[in-house]
Amino acid sequence: MTNKPQTLYDKIWNDHVVGTRPDGTSIIYIDRHLVHEVTSPQAFEGLRLSERKLRRPDLTLAVPDHNLPTTARVDASGNPIPIADPESAAQLAALERNVTEFNVPYIGATHINQGIVHVVGPELGFTLPGTTLVCGDSHTAAHGALGSLAFGIGTSEVEHVMATQTLLLRKSKSMEIRVEGDLPHGVTPKDLILHIIGVIGTAGGTGYVIEYRGRVFEQMSVEGRLTVSNMSIEAGARAGLIAPDDVTFDYLHDRPMSPTGDDWDAAVAYWRTLKSDEGANFDKSITINAADIAPTISWGTSPEDVIAITDIIPSPDDYADPSKREAVIASLEYMGLTPGMKASDIAIENIFIGSCTNSRIEDLRAAAQILKGRKKSDYVKWAIIVPGSGQVKAEAEAEGLDKIFIDAGFEWREPGCSACLGMNPDKVPAGERCASTSNRNFVGRQGPGSRTHLLSPAMAAAAAVNGRLSDIREFI
Ligand SMILES: CC(C)[C@H](C(=O)O)[C@@H](O)C(=O)O
Ligand code: SF4
């Protein structure tokens, strides 16, 4: 091996190269494969047609999340309630058939561990530092928070991994996003990543694997790191890494699928080597000043359309690039906003606290801190909290958070993707706004005609109380 200083990405990549071809593509060994109901049916069908087995069921884990309704899943006698929507019912049935036929470890819809794949993986210790982890889902980047080289793949690649436990890849370029200083009061990891995407743009990370570096990340919980890495894909990046450290090891210790005993000690010794060496070269470096960041919201239909809550809605004239100006005009029209309007004057009818970006226990605690003893505004018609997993739900209930939410006028739901993309009945009506802790504000994302404002869980809770987008710093 070379003595040249290496990045964290170089180290994980080099540890997984099976072989490199003259054209520069490499076969990479895949350690972990998460499977959900949306992107797996054709892949299983492909295996069936080619009469192949799934090579490593023991490195594969299947969980339904996108199509499941978030209303009660069992009746009063504990019997499963069938899914009303025929398409969703068929998706779930297909996954259940496939995991049985191919012998894949499966967490079913009514299991305590069921949840969004990207919440479940870390929580069970299925996601580990230094591993390569894939899923037919773009937000797989989330797992990079634990120092796993994790990225979304397409359905044909899902089949390839199922059949071979490898992928054919070309190495990405490396980008360092260094955050200097500390996050100001009221500024959370969600505000940080929204701000970063605002700075680099949705294409800023295209062709790169990002490594997030700086004291801010060292001091951040694993939950917060997951929020940041999760949205790397919204910046166009292939993956988003954070070097594993004691915070990561403490988080993983004693998780159901984490190594134990001597294996744990050996694993931690290896994991400690997983950081970018002094002097390692990044193809691109970006520095962000934490002090510049305020609680942030999205105003448009792209995750780069972000402003501080204290700002006003921008005007197309603020943009020099003609295509961006066109996009801003279209965004303003779709969102029903006028340039110059104060962000904090935007009235909100719906609140969604959930998604793989912000549905972990810390997110729910942050929302509960604001909602405790308060009620949602009468202007808010629909407010739901969807925990990321059964584990998160149980933990929140043990802390009494569910009561705080229900008293505040929220609905307390079963785990899943829910209104993040509305593949189940949880949709935002056309023309209405939603203050949403999810990661995408695309046209129609939360239902046809829906208008999404991305923000942190605390900011979503504040919006619920005031019935309009609000500055969390007025509450804390
Ligand atoms: C349905 C799935 C393939 C999709 C993704 O890849 O991200 C979804 O999770 C999303 O967030 O849009
Ligand atoms: S919660 Fe949203 S972003 Fe995450 S996997 Fe589900 S649909 Fe995709």
pLDDT in tens, 225-250: 999 999 999 999 999 999 999 999 99
In terms of C-beta density within 10 A (0-12 exposed, 13-18 middle, 19 or more buried), how is residue 80 classed? exposed
- Please identify, by atom number, the ligand 2 atom nearest to the C-alpha of residue 357: 4
Residue count (the chain): 476
Max CA-CA distance within the chain? 64
Whole-number average pLDDT of the chain: 98
Cα distances (angstroms) measured from residue 133 to each of 10, 33, 161, 236, 423: 16, 6, 11, 18, 25
Q: Which among 131, 108, 133 is positioned nearest to 118, based on CA atoms?
A: 133
Structure tokens at 3: 């003595």
Q: Model confidence over 156-212: pLDDT tens digits?
A: 999 999 999 999 999 999 999 999 999 999 999 999 999 999 999 999 999 999 999
Which residues face 168 on adjacent strands? 27
Domains for the chain: give ranges and CATH numbers: 8-169 (3.30.499.10), 172-292 (3.40.1060.10), 296-474 (3.30.499.10)
Contacts of 460 (CB under 8 A, 6+ apart): 351, 352, 353, 367, 435, 436, 437
Distance CA 393, CA 361 (A): 8
| Structural contact between residues 134 and 140, judged by C-beta atoms closer than 8 angstroms | yes
417 annotated ligand binder: yes
What pLDDT, on the 0 to 100 scale, is given for residue 473? 98
Task: Give 199 Cα–ligand 1 centroid separation in angstroms.
Answer: 24
What pLDDT, on the 0 to 100 scale, is given for residue 387? 98
pTM over 0.90: yes
In this prediction, residue 376 has a pLDDT band, given cuts at 50, 70 and 90, of: very high
Helix and strand numbers, DSSP H then E, in the chain: 15, 18
Question: Which residue CA neighbors atom 4 of ligand 1 most closely?
Answer: 137
Count of beta carbons in the 10 Å neighbourhood of residue 185: 9
Distance CA 146, CA 128 (A): 6
420 annotated ligand binder: yes
| Structural contact between residues 350 and 382, judged by C-beta atoms closer than 8 angstroms | yes
- Please identify, by atom number, the ligand 1 atom nearest to the C-alpha of residue 445: 12
Q: Is 424 in the pocket of ligand 2 (CB under 6 A)?
A: no
- Please identify, by atom number, the ligand 1 atom nearest to the C-alpha of residue 152: 6
- What distance lies between CA 220 and its chain's CA centroid? 16
Distance CA 140, CA 150 (A): 6
Question: Which residue CA neighbors atom 7 of ligand 1 most closely?
Answer: 138
Contacts of 322 (CB under 8 A, 6+ apart): none
Structure tokens at 160: 């390839």
Structure tokens at 86: 């025929």
The pLDDT of residue 356 is above 70: yes
Stated as kind and residue range, the H or E segment containing 34 is: strand 32-35
In one-letter notation, the amino acid at residue 377 is S
Task: Give 233 Cα–ligand 1 centroid separation in angstroms.
Answer: 11
- Please identify, by atom number, the ligand 2 atom nearest to the C-alpha of residue 439: 3
Task: Give 280 Cα–ligand 1 centroid separation in angstroms.
Answer: 33
Task: Name the DSSP letter for residue 338.
Answer: -
Task: Give 152 Cα–ligand 1 centroid separation in angstroms.
Answer: 9
Report the share of the chain in percent with pLDDT over 70: 100
Candidate of 359, 420, 434 to mutate for ligand 2, largest count of ligand atoms within 8 Å of Cβ: 420
> Any idea what the Cα angle at residue 42 is, between residues 40 and 44, rounded to 5°?
70
Report the share of the chain in percent with pLDDT over 90: 99
- Mean local confidence (pLDDT), 47-73: 98
Candidate of 153, 234, 417, 450 to mutate for ligand 2, largest count of ligand atoms within 8 Å of Cβ: 417
Distance CA 316, CA 215 (A): 36
Ligand 1 surroundings by CB, under 6 angstroms: 38-39, 66, 137-139, 152, 421
Task: Give 371 Cα–ligand 1 centroid separation in angstroms.
Answer: 30
Distance CA 183, CA 191 (A): 9
Which residues face 382 on adjacent strands? 350
Q: Is 421 in the pocket of ligand 2 (CB under 6 A)?
A: yes
E strands present in 224-349: 239-241, 284-289, 296-298, 306-308
434 annotated ligand binder: no
Task: Give 307 Cα–ligand 1 centroid separation in angstroms.
Answer: 25
Candidate of 67, 91, 116, 117 to mutate for ligand 2, largest count of ligand atoms within 8 Å of Cβ: 116
Contacts of 236 (CB under 8 A, 6+ apart): 201, 202, 203, 204, 205, 206, 207, 208
Structure tokens at 318: 């603020």
Structure tokens at 260: 């134990």
The pLDDT of residue 2 is above 60: no
What pLDDT, on the 0 to 100 scale, is given for residue 236? 98
What pLDDT, on the 0 to 100 scale, is given for residue 3? 81
Stated as kind and residue range, the H or E segment containing 20 is: strand 17-20
| Structural contact between residues 386 and 416, judged by C-beta atoms closer than 8 angstroms | yes
Task: Name the DSSP letter for residue 367.
Answer: H
Q: Model confidence over 381-412: pLDDT tens digits?
A: 999 999 999 999 999 999 999 999 999 999 99
The pLDDT of residue 49 is above 80: yes
Q: Model confidence over 261-310: pLDDT tens digits?
A: 999 999 999 999 999 999 999 999 999 999 999 999 999 999 999 999 99
The pLDDT of residue 100 is above 70: yes
Task: Give 138 Cα–ligand 1 centroid separation in angstroms.
Answer: 6
